[in-house]
Amino acid sequence: MIRPIIFLPLVIITDMSYAGFQNETMDTISFSFQSIDRFSTSTTDIERVDDARSFVSEALFSESTSRLSRPLTKDELKKIIRVKEQMHTLNTLRMSFGDTPDNSAHVDVFYGYKDIEDAQITDYLAPDTFNDVTLSEYGTAIQKWFWSNRVFLQGVYKHTSRRGVIEFLPTQLEYLDAYEVNGAIRFQKNTANDMVMFFPSYVFQDIEPEVSTLPTRERRIVSFGFTYGNERPSDDFRSMFSVDGILERRLDPRGLHLYGGYVKDIESYSDVDVTKEDYFFGTSFGFGKFHLAVQPTFFIYEVDNDSSQNNSQFRMNLNLYHQTTKKISFTFPLRCDIAVEGPDDFENWKIGTEMRYYTKPDNDSNKGHQAIIWSISLRYDRQSFYNLDENLDLLNLYFKLEL
């Protein structure tokens, strides 16, 4: 069951960016706050996009010699497809040192919470049993642009308490200490359309179960992205845990001519490394009031001591945008997933529509006053796993407040 969360005394709303109010009594120090809440019914966790890979990997592990040692039936495979009702909230308070955003250094303090229903298979010997996953996290980040805004560096520490991901022990906690380094390098010629940017990231996680008899684990993530176009990203940099991270958190693809990236995620168990790799590349172009973004993606999953669990998928994404007014836009996403290696049971297509409404401050009318910016989006998707005759209706609500 999704439980409502109330944070006091900051703001009773909530996610993943930063912006805000300025302290008029100080010349070089200002404070800002951003809060985002996300509620969704989805086949993936909110920050991930690889549902086909996740379902295939769960099925293959359940079929492996370390669990059932037999193929799953069509009914068992179909039950692995599940809608995860979830909420995610993250509050961030920022202290900025500097006269302008371009020459400021920022120190962030954040707290987040997730609640995801049916997120995890409890026992892979019975792959139709699921349990919820809850997660709370807090941390701090320091970041700054250097050399006339050509180089950006950010260091992050985050501590997470997570319940529900340990097989056979769904009530047990595990603790994660994460260390991240994120960066950006910008090159620009004479026109804004010639801007090229590179985004390297590195993450190390130390994962320690609450049960002392269970082994500790390590996770390492290396990612790299690039963009070419007329968009300069905001200061909301974070590591790319998925292929959509570079766009969702940093840039609007409508301002890009080319973009792409690579993510390698290695989780090390006692004697096994599980590796996920994502490759993506995209382009976009406008015609009239519409804009089309095209993005092919490859997902790869490998288990180093059991090649029978290896699998990969190809995805084609098409997103059609329409800027109806200055404050309202519509997006019409379409995608399909096709198996490259491994079973094709979870091949699917997904089509939807999303409406976004957002406010922007009027610089003249807000001089000397606190600026309040907010945005909201509502999205509906229809997803079909046609080989297993499973059709889903999915909703996503996103709300952001900046003070």
Radius of gyration of the chain (CA): 22
pLDDT over 80 at 131, yes or no: yes
Q: Report the C-alpha gap between 147 and 327 in whole angstroms.
A: 34
The answer to whether the beta carbons of residues 159 and 175 sit under 8 Å apart is yes
pLDDT over 80 at 4, yes or no: no
Mean pLDDT of 87-102: 86
Mean pLDDT of 109-118: 96
> Which pLDDT score is estimated for 256?
79
Average the pLDDT over each of 166-175, 333-342, 352-361 and give the range with the smallest value: 352-361
Residue 83 inside a domain? The answer is: yes
Residue 342 inside a domain? The answer is: yes
Residue labelled with tokens 């094709």? 344
CATH number at residue 364: 2.40.160
Residue 11 inside a domain? The answer is: no
Mean pLDDT of 151-166: 95
The answer to whether the beta carbons of residues 284 and 254 sit under 8 Å apart is yes
The pLDDT tens digits for 212-253 are 899 999 999 999 888 888 765 555 554 444 444 444 544 567
Residue 281 inside a domain? The answer is: yes
The pLDDT tens digits for 270-289 are 889 999 999 999 999 888 88
> Which pLDDT score is estimated for 287?
86
> Which pLDDT score is estimated for 148?
84
Q: Report the C-alpha gap between 145 and 133 in whole angstroms.
A: 37
> Which pLDDT score is estimated for 252?
66
Domain extent for 132: 29-402
- Residue that wins the pLDDT comparison between 34 and 337: 337
**Overall number of domains in the chain:** 1
Quote the mean pLDDT of the chain: 86
Residue 247 inside a domain? The answer is: yes
> Which pLDDT score is estimated for 149?
84
Residue 233 inside a domain? The answer is: yes
Q: Who contacts 348 (Cβ-Cβ below 8 Å, separation ≥6)?
A: 51, 52, 336, 337, 383, 384, 385, 386
> Which pLDDT score is estimated for 349?
98
Residue 5 inside a domain? The answer is: no
Residue 227 inside a domain? The answer is: yes
